[in-house]
Structure 1
Amino acid sequence: MSAFQRIVRPSLARIVEPGEGYDQHGDHYWGSGFFIAPEWLLTCAHVVGKGGAAVWRSEQAVGVVWQGGTATGKVVLAKPRPSVPDENRSRWELPDIALVHVPDAREAPCVWLSERPPSIPAEISLHGWSRETGDLGVRDGLGQAQAHDTRTLLLTGVLPVAGVSGGPVVDRESGAVIAVVKGVGRREGVAVPVTALRELYDLPGGDVLHTVLREHDRHHLRRYRDGGSDDWTRTQLELRTRGMPGLTPDLRVHLYGLLAELPPPSGPGEVLDLVDKVKSRVLADDYRSPIEPDPRTWREGAGLLHDLPDIQGKAKPRELDLDAVLLYAAKVARHTALTRRDTAAPDALRDLADWVTYRSEMARAPIAEEIGRALAPILTGTDLTGTDLTGTGLNGTGLTGTGLTGTDVQSPPAITVRESRGQARADVLVEVGDPDYGGRYPWSVKLLFDGRDVSPFDGDDSGVPRSLLRKTLRAPLADALRHGDSGENLAAVEALLPRQLFDEPLDAWRLIPDGADEDDYDEWDPPYMPLGRRRVVVIRDRRRNGRDAIPEWRRLWNAAADGPLAAVPLRDEAAVSGHGPSVRRESKPAAFGRLMGAERGSVPVYCGHVEHGDGFAAMSTALAAGHPLALWRRNGQNHDDCQEFHHRAGRFLAKVGSAAGLRDRIQELRVHASTPELAADSGWAAGVAFLFDPPDRPPYGTEAISPPPMES
């Protein structure tokens, strides 16, 4: 029996019908699965789907048999999942995974889950139960993982047979489970990378995965410390070339066990923010992967710091790994102490800081010094502002020590990491192109870093009708926001739109899951609130951002940035007489001259729509005059309150003072406008939209997105 067979088999389970299915010679066998944490088993959704409606009602309807015994479990998370329990599915789309809770399997040994996407090509083994030879038994096979995309892994050399679906795929070099066997394609085996677990986090109840992976890492650290010969960490050490630098399996199991004791990250953006800073420091370069990863745990952040490219040519292979991972762990500890004082256990923080400090002797000197500075506040019992974290000091001695702040640390520029506080990792840029092909709008979603660098995230050049924009963009926009948010700092949404879409109520969109009914989700539940209630949502003009900025645009932006701000009517007659059909309209030349000559810091204001008719013409005139800011009301059908609207808007603009002040107050104004108790003061702003369009904001006149050319 190989090393992998020896350590996999105790974790391997066959999935059966409860009762008669426990008999190895019976006919009630469904497929395979494996334990990833005590009480928690991973398999394919199509395997447990053989149990019918009872499974999807989350009853104890899944029979589980493993070396340690038999038990029943229930499906807690699955994707896909039938819309109703009685639905019969003939096709199981990706990721085709299910998480099963088996309460009576507390002592079941668990596999080691990889914390990173699979490396290709890779020598692999796959394991499961099968009746291929007639009798039900364990089936092991050796092969290669030859190709993968973000959702599947293609296997050659060995093809999964009936019954093996749901079993683990092991990377024989790293000694980690990298995928779940799904089935057979036309010529290759098909598996689902374990990184697909991330898709379950976004389902209702998906936060339970934080508990599962915490128990996974605790389990493996406990088994390693117990000193047995059949644990995964020792097997991984045997595979590793003696003396090879980098993060060894024994260091990794200790680090991940310590990280597991911290409160989990709020989303991928919080992890990636720290990863980006570590890469920038260790590589001495603003290196960012062209493919945006999706880590949901601290351990996955460490996994992204393996095999870093040595851009400067100053380190030996794998030497950067240890520098990067230790610095990352120090930043996680520091960040947690700063942002989670009420939920982080002081002992857990201190244990992590002690371990990283001790191991930092293995890092290069500049990195070790930086780690020491990052962890000093925790080790001395103070936070970053010098305040005692516990009342007695984290070390339990009553000594608070001296807190360190960014200005206290005096260090050479070469070893200083810039820590940005109070801002999101990235803002989200939603770009919609001009329509073509019968009114289809091409779209893209991008991440905007530091207001400077744009990274593509998702998109569709073939486009969709306007009526489907909200439905189509909800999922990619929600995903991008998770990558942009960093802890309590939420990403803003900048919508780069054609002018005929300026009244699209983007700030009122709710990012509920695809196929769900908005009425099933509480509009005061933060993930499903209207966008503008939680975060800044502004509009930018797509047409002029496709060209070099005109001088008037720069001049008016500089004036707005300096402040103060003052309202100027977008349509001169609307501020007094409204915008009804009988009102005499200002001519376009007159409006252009008036808006060009408006005083510094003027912001065009309008009480009606701007994506068609007179409002459209007036907005186009204001943009031609170079105005970077504007405020209008999408729901301005009522023409008898325009004078009050303009007056209130003018008072609001005078109060915010500058362009930055306006941006900071947009979300607050929308919240107040939707609050009945504040309607008397802020009700005027219901349905308000904002143009906030600086001239030096990407995409800097980039190539317009448009549908692909028609085939001839």
Structure 2
Amino acid sequence: MNSLEGTVRRSVVRICAPGGGKEPIGDRFWGSGFFIAPGLVLTCAHVVGVGGGDVLDGGTAIDITDWRERTTEGRVVLAMPRPQDPQRPPSPWPLPDLALVEVAGAEDAECLWLSDRSAVVPAPISLHGWSRELGELTLRFGTGIAAGGDGGSAMLLRGEIPVEGCSGGPVLDTGRGAVIGVSKGRGRDTAGLAVPITALRRLANDLPGRARLHALVRAHDRHHLLRYRAFGTTATWTGLQRGLRPQGRGLTPVLRTQLFAQLAELPPPETPGEVMALVDEVKSRVIQDPYQPGVEHDPRSWREGVGLLYDLRDGAGGKEDGGTARDLEVEAVLLYAAHVAAAVSALGRAEDERALRDLGGWLTLNAEALELPDVIRHDIRRILYGGSAGFPQVPETAPVRDGAVVLTPRKTPPLKPEQRPVRARADVIVEIDQLLYGDRYPWRVKLLREDDLVTPLCEDELGAQRQELAQVLREPIADALRKGDVGEHLAALQLIVPRELFDEPLDDWRLAPPGAGAGSIDPRSLPLGRRRVVYLRDRRRRDEPAIPEWISRWKGAERGGLTAVPLRREVPVQGHGRGRRESPDAAYARLSEVPDTAVPVYCGPVASGEGAQAMEAALAAGHAVVIWRRCASEHSDCADFHQRVGELLHSVGRAGELHRTIRSLRRRCADPEADQEVLWARSIAVLFDSPERPPLPDVLRAPGGSR
């Protein structure tokens, strides 16, 4: 048995029904699991789901037997997803099919090392778990490759896949020495299915889950640092990983073990966008060439940001260049950690001060000891201590062991990081196409970065029916917004939809299912338009270059001095149902003559009928901002609505300030006892359609043609 197999063996457990842990040939064996933190076992939900609702709810204890045949009591603390009827377990169990089990008296258990990055496939793997195929329960293992996946929910395996009973056991990347998945089941022949370890991220989709995931990561990383301090590189995951990689430069396992334990002492990021904003900034700084990310990641811990900084430029950081090669990996990781410290310091929490001092001192000492370039060392110090009177003093020779500084107690100044502008990392774009397949609308969700880089996240070209759109898009939008939010800076939502959907209450869509947060004000379950900036945009305009009128009117709206003009001439002069109707051609002529700062206003729906004809005329005339209300046309307060909108436009001045006021009106209108001063704004809708973000396609021209 090699050292890798032996190390894994000491962490893998078998899971049995109560009283079945000491029966090596009994029928009460359910499956396998493994320790990921002291006293905490990870397995598949379908393994513990055999015990029904009492087990899944933690009311009934189960038997956990380790490699020494020591059986202790375990209780399920989480199952994802929990079935609607636990007494009738689903088959197959839906993904992610993960469960956490607290094990009493197992605080001294050895834990596997969890990968800090998404699986890089194909990857050589080994699978481990208990099986009774030969009659007696024995620990089995097999080898193969992680051949692919579906974007984060499942991992496809090929090779010597273990037999039944190994479900819940670890899938180990043998090239990197890290657990990348949990065995879920066996398919035909040599095929298998696993759940990526990154599926644990789903814990962080709500506040209690984020705290649980952070506690798990903290316990895991503390455990591995303590073991390294006690045993060095002998019989520890740090030592095992050190033996798997070529000696030399780069982020060594010792550096990583120390850094992860430091990061684990900090409060976790609120959203993936916080982590990715720092990763993006560091990559742009270190690589310097325009950074074009290939895949949008979903990190939920600071350590995962480190995992995204490996192998920059496909390993160029380790190549020699005339004897002056730069260690891009280490530069990037230490810069990233400095930015993390600065971001946490900005929260101003007294309880974080000690952890920040320790991290700041560790970074400063390592930047010196590892002889990073002067510009990087200066960057790290500026990020950490930019606001202080001076930098911490560093000894000429810092103690080094196994490629990392041993941080000795010393007086270091508190972090006073430089003040830097923080904003949302990206807007979220939701594109809904015209009907293509009967009554179904194809859709796509994307991120729009400040540099106009668009990253596709998910799509459905077959689409959804109109009444299904809010439900179908709920989780894709929530996932995208998490990747765009940075702290209190929330990503805006751009809804690019066909004109027949203009009157849909899109700003009333929620990220939580119906009934969630009932009876309380939960920001995560509020209608989107009450919490965020929501832009409604015209889908038909996006496929062609912008007409000059549109560009001119958008610039006018941005410049300011907004005024109101009726979308239809007879409203509000005579109101709906009276007088002679304005033809579409007449509306186009009139709306083409108004100033660029004029905003068409209408007190009725615009997705059909005369309102739709007038809206088409306004868009043809280039108008980028239009205001209306979605309610039916049978009302008598048209003049009041137009007057109120005119006053609103005059007060905000320019288009950039419009949505803040609209959002405030929506919040006030939500009150069942809202005062009469805001009732006019109920069901208000705004078209806010920029021709600049994202840029529209250029006009194709013949070679050599003049522009």
TM-score by length of 2: 0.89
Distance in 2 separating the partners of 1:520 and 1:656: 33
In the alignment, what sits opposite 1:356?
Answer: 363
Alpha carbons of 1:98 and 1:314: their partners in 2 closer, same or farther (altered >3 Å)?
closer
Query: Structure 2 matches for 1:366-515, cutoff 5 A?
Result: 366-377=375-386, 405=418, 420-421=421-422, 423-450=423-450, 452-512=452-512
Alpha carbons of 1:523 and 1:290: their partners in 2 closer, same or farther (altered >3 Å)?
farther
In the alignment, what sits opposite 2:174?
Answer: 172
Residue of 131, 153, 156 corresponding to 1:154: 156
Q: Is the 8 A contact 1:353 1:378 kept in 2?
A: no
Distance in 1 separating the partners of 2:491 and 2:351: 24
- SS for the counterpart of 1:323 is helix
Distance in 1 separating the partners of 2:683 and 2:104: 50
Q: Is the 8 A contact 2:38 2:223 kept in 1?
A: yes
Task: Work out whether 1:73 is the aligned partner of 2:43.
Answer: no
| CA positional deviation for 1:86 | 2.1
Residue of 328, 331, 352 corresponding to 1:323: 331
Distance in 1 separating the partners of 2:297 and 2:284: 17
Residue of 343, 347, 352 corresponding to 1:345: 352
Distance in 2 separating the partners of 1:9 and 1:19: 23
- SS for the counterpart of 2:572 is helix
| CA positional deviation for 1:204 | 7.8
In the alignment, what sits opposite 1:64?
Answer: 64
Residue of 227, 231, 236 corresponding to 1:231: 236
| CA positional deviation for 1:678 | 4.9
Give the unaligned 5+ runs of structure 2.
392-408, 700-707
Distance in 2 separating the partners of 1:326 and 1:9: 34
Distance in 2 separating the partners of 1:157 and 1:519: 44
Q: Is the 8 A contact 1:31 1:166 kept in 2?
A: yes
Distance in 2 separating the partners of 1:661 and 1:121: 50
Distance in 2 separating the partners of 1:336 and 1:128: 40
Q: Is the 8 A contact 2:516 2:525 kept in 1?
A: no
* Deviation readout 1:231-288 (Å, 9 max, x if unpaired): 211222232323x211111100110000011110011111101101111111112323
Distance in 1 separating the partners of 2:65 and 2:172: 21
Task: Work out whether 1:673 is the aligned partner of 2:672.
Answer: no
In the alignment, what sits opposite 1:130?
Answer: 131
| CA positional deviation for 1:666 | 3.1
Distance in 2 separating the partners of 1:182 and 1:252: 29
Amino acid at match of 1:673: C
Q: Is the 8 A contact 2:317 2:326 kept in 1?
A: no
Task: Work out whether 1:591 is the aligned partner of 2:587.
Answer: yes
* Deviation readout 1:661-705 (Å, 9 max, x if unpaired): 1134332232222235653332222211111112222251499xx
Alpha carbons of 1:169 and 1:72: their partners in 2 closer, same or farther (altered >3 Å)?
same
- SS for the counterpart of 2:135 is coil
TM-score by length of 1: 0.89
Query: Structure 2 matches for 1:75-114, cutoff 5 A?
Result: 75-114=76-115
| CA positional deviation for 1:607 | 1.4
Amino acid at match of 1:192: V
Amino acid at match of 1:238: G
Distance in 1 separating the partners of 2:315 and 2:620: 45
Distance in 2 separating the partners of 1:252 and 1:378: 28
* Deviation readout 1:474-528 (Å, 9 max, x if unpaired): 111111111111111111111111111111211101112xxx5435656621221
- SS for the counterpart of 2:635 is coil
Distance in 2 separating the partners of 1:519 and 1:196: 23
Give the unaligned 5+ runs of structure 1.
383-394, 407-418, 704-712
Distance in 2 separating the partners of 1:533 and 1:32: 47
RMSD of aligned Cα (Å): 2.6
Q: Is the 8 A contact 2:61 2:75 kept in 1?
A: yes
- SS for the counterpart of 1:434 is coil
In the alignment, what sits opposite 1:271?
Answer: 275
Task: Work out whether 1:189 is the aligned partner of 2:186.
Answer: no
Distance in 2 separating the partners of 1:469 and 1:563: 35
Distance in 1 separating the partners of 2:208 and 2:85: 18
Distance in 1 separating the partners of 2:169 and 2:89: 23
- SS for the counterpart of 1:518 is coil
- SS for the counterpart of 1:574 is coil
Distance in 2 separating the partners of 1:475 and 1:254: 36
Alpha carbons of 1:546 and 1:459: their partners in 2 closer, same or farther (altered >3 Å)?
same
Comparing 165-174 with 144-153, which one deviates more in the overlay?
144-153
Task: Work out whether 1:260 is the aligned partner of 2:264.
Answer: yes
Task: Work out whether 1:691 is the aligned partner of 2:694.
Answer: no
- SS for the counterpart of 2:298 is coil
Q: Is the 8 A contact 2:517 2:525 kept in 1?
A: no
Q: Is the 8 A contact 2:432 2:497 kept in 1?
A: yes
Identity of aligned residues (%): 49
Residue of 560, 563, 567 corresponding to 1:566: 563
- SS for the counterpart of 2:535 is strand
Comparing 313-322 with 128-137, which one deviates more in the overlay?
313-322
Task: Work out whether 1:553 is the aligned partner of 2:550.
Answer: yes
Alpha carbons of 1:398 and 1:136: their partners in 2 closer, same or farther (altered >3 Å)?
closer
